[in-house]
Amino acid sequence: MYRDRPNLMIGFHGCDESVRNNLVNQPDKVKSSQELYDWLCHGFYLWENNYERALLRAKDKKKRGSIVNPSVVGVVYQLNNCLDFTDSAFINLLIQYYDLMKDELKLSDKDLPKHKNLPKDEFNDLILRELDCAVIQYLHRKIEEEIELQIKQYGYSELNKFDTVRGIFTEGGPAFDGAGIQLKNHVQICIRNFNCIKGFFIPRKKVNF
């Protein structure tokens, strides 16, 4: 009962300036990331209340040649029914589905996906997180299959799909010698249900008054 998150929140999405403008002007046309290495499963990604991290992400993408003009779009959203990996209950749930997936793959004589580094990643952050993505996608699929089965059998289901996924990540190497705090620590949000997005905006600059 207490895990529903109806309150409005603000996040930021790093992207090309053209993508930012399209989202502001055509907010119903949201694209879902479908990469095998998505950190929290497939969906629309943003950084929780972290403009600077979103801009850094956009600049990194420019360095790799995937965008031209680094920019940031603001997002007003709700988490609603959230698979929140800051909550021990959901981490334990993920472990259960990992075990199920591992057993299924073993029966099919298939290997689990593995995390990979980007070339020349000095901090070994394992940026390409294919295993995490596969397990979280598997969790969503199995829960949705169970919902469909319950509806067919009973006409309703007590289960609900997860609208969003939330996780804390540490990366980028220590902020200073001996530090436990890392340079790119952040909270990341993946929105699966686009109805959780209430609007996009171009972030303002702070003014003196």
159-182 per-position pLDDT tens digit = 999 999 999 998 888 899 999 899
pLDDT given at position 128: 84
Residue 32, Cβ density class (10 Å: 0-12 exposed, 13-18 middle, ≥19 buried): middle
Please report whether residue 207 resides in a domain.
no
Q: Which residues in 60-96 are b (16+ Cβ under 10 Å) and which e?
A: bbeeeeebeebbbbbbebbbbbbbbbeeeebeeebee
Residue 41, Cβ density class (10 Å: 0-12 exposed, 13-18 middle, ≥19 buried): buried
Residues 123 and 171: beta-carbon distance below 8 Å: yes
Q: Tell me what percent of the residues of the chain surpass a pLDDT of 90.
A: 81
Please report whether residue 209 resides in a domain.
no
List the one residue out of 110, 165, 114 whose CA is nearest residue 136.
165
Residues 15 and 74: beta-carbon distance below 8 Å: no
Residue 34, Cβ density class (10 Å: 0-12 exposed, 13-18 middle, ≥19 buried): exposed
Place of tokens 């996040």: 11
Domain residues for 70? 4-201
Please report whether residue 197 resides in a domain.
yes
Please report whether residue 208 resides in a domain.
no
Compute the distance between CA of residue 204 and CA of residue 184 in angstroms, rounded to an integer. Answer: 23
List the one residue out of 203, 199, 192 whose CA is nearest residue 26.
199
Domain count, the chain: 1
Lowest mean per-residue pLDDT among 23-32, 95-104, 166-175: 166-175
Please report whether residue 149 resides in a domain.
yes
Q: Token digits for 187? A: 């909270």
Please report whether residue 206 resides in a domain.
no
The residue among 173 and 70 whose pLDDT is bigger is 70
Compute the distance between CA of residue 202 and CA of residue 209 in angstroms, rounded to an integer. Answer: 21
